[in-house]
Structure 1
Amino acid sequence: MGRFASDIKKYKRYSNRNGLILLLTQQGLWALLVYRINNKIYRSKLPGFMKRIFLFFGLFWQKYIEIIAGISLPYSASIGRSCYIGHFGGIIINANAVIGEDCNISQGVTVGVSGRGTDRGVPTIGDRVYIGANAVVAGNIAIGNDAVIAACSLVTQAVAAGTTVAGVPAKKISDNNSSAYIQ
């Protein structure tokens, strides 16, 4: 549970609360716990038949969390250590998305598929990226390390490392990085 332990540590940094209290009260941690367990099974070397049985039951657990917390983290997505989901609801991550380490995801965020032809795909999000409330990041694009995606932005083009983007469509608005947002 090394990755989940890093998630809890990050939540503690933000709230200065006991890990058990956080686990009982934070929907983001519920979703991350289910994701981490199912992802570990998905990436394990268990025999295929056993893996499918465990994932079958894990899928029900994942769907239950989606219903009560409004957070969809498919077990096949790749989410790095120390993820922080700050608020309840409306978070949808594509099953093929890649999210780096130490990222913050706000409520209402979608990381999904978009594009046509060779541009069709899902994002690869770097480390220490802050994604603001109700932002959409879609398509076969790369989001650089330490980037900030402002609230309500639509990101369909690559974002350079250490920059802030905002708007619909999102455009670079500054060279401010995510250090003020990520603890």
Structure 2
Amino acid sequence: MSRMFLRETVRAYRQRDPAARSDIEVLLCYPGLHAVLLHRVAHWLWRSHAFLLGRLVSHFGRMLTGIEIHPGATIGRRCIIDHGMGVVIGETAELGDDVYLYHQVTLGGTSSDHGKRHPTLGNGVIIGAGAKVLGDILIGDNARIGANAVVVAEVPANTTVVGIPARPVERGTAVRPAKPRFDPYGTPCDPCIDPLLHEIDTLRSEMNDLEARIARAEALRPAPAAGREASVDERVERS
């Protein structure tokens, strides 16, 4: 295990977590770091066809940290698992560099078939607490997945998605598009347009417009003549 890997991972924790006061604190007290270090050992054993030993190391890491990473999963550099309890990463999951995961995140599969069945995450992806990313889908670079979102379709790069099922939210404008940045828990805290609220506002506007058109049509409708009204009343009385 290279010192460069350990040094840059500790530095990434220090940069992104204001609670990290020293390198030694990160080394001793951060279960996400321990889980990734043990996964590197388990993954090396798995690639060396020592499947049982790889699973045993993975199982030990799960008992120690509460984070379950299958030894077959591929994890890039500077991966941060914040808090970590309840994180599950499936066998064929692939994580790029600078990925940030919070607790109770699941990178799961939707098929019992062999082969690729877990998500692929690009570089700089942030996944909020409790989010579920399911199936052989691609999460593009710098994508943000909000807390408790359920993602079952691909997410383009530089896109933020929230909700169940996850839908994109509009951030920035055409003149000033949103820049990739660190969003705690993958959830935008700046003013943005929620897709469901946007649809509700659109329906409300269409309904108001329809009511106004009906009112104008009623105002332009000619009033019936008095004699015609009397004849209608007479026919009603006769019946």
Is TM (by shorter chain) over 0.5?
Answer: yes
Describe the SS at the equivalent of 1:34: helix
Paired position in structure 2 for 1:66 = 62
Corresponding residue for 1:153? 149
Structure 2 counterpart SS, 1:101: coil
Under a length normalisation based on structure 2, what TM-score does the superposition of the two structures give?
0.65
Larger radius of gyration: 2
Identity across matched positions, percent: 31
1:6 maps to a residue whose letter is: E
Of the three residues 29, 50, 67, the one matched with 2:33 is 29
Query: In the TM superposition, what are the counterparts of 1:9-158 in structure 2 within 5 Å?
Result: 9-13=11-15, 14-15=17-18, 16-43=20-47, 52=50, 56-114=52-110, 121-158=117-154
Instruction: Verify the 8 A CA contact 2:93 2:120 in the aligned structure 1.
Output: yes
Unaligned runs of 5+ in 1: none
Equivalence for 2:9: 7
Q: Shift of residue 58 of structure 1?
A: 4.4
Task: Give per-residue Cα distances to partners, 1:67-116, cap 9 Å, x unaligned.
Answer: 23210112210111000011131100001101110010000000010159
> Number of residues paired by the alignment?
172
Residue 76 to residue 10, structure 1, CA distance change in 2 (3 Å): same
- TM-align CA RMSD: 2.3
Q: Which has the higher contact order (CA 8 A, sep 6+)?
A: 1
Richer in strand (by share): 1
Query: Structure 1-normalised TM-score?
Result: 0.84
Offset of 1:31 from its aligned partner? Answer: 0.4
Name structure 2 gaps, 5 residues minimum: 172-177, 185-239
2-structure distance, mates of 1:3, 1:40: 15
Distance 1:20 1:58, change over 3 A: farther
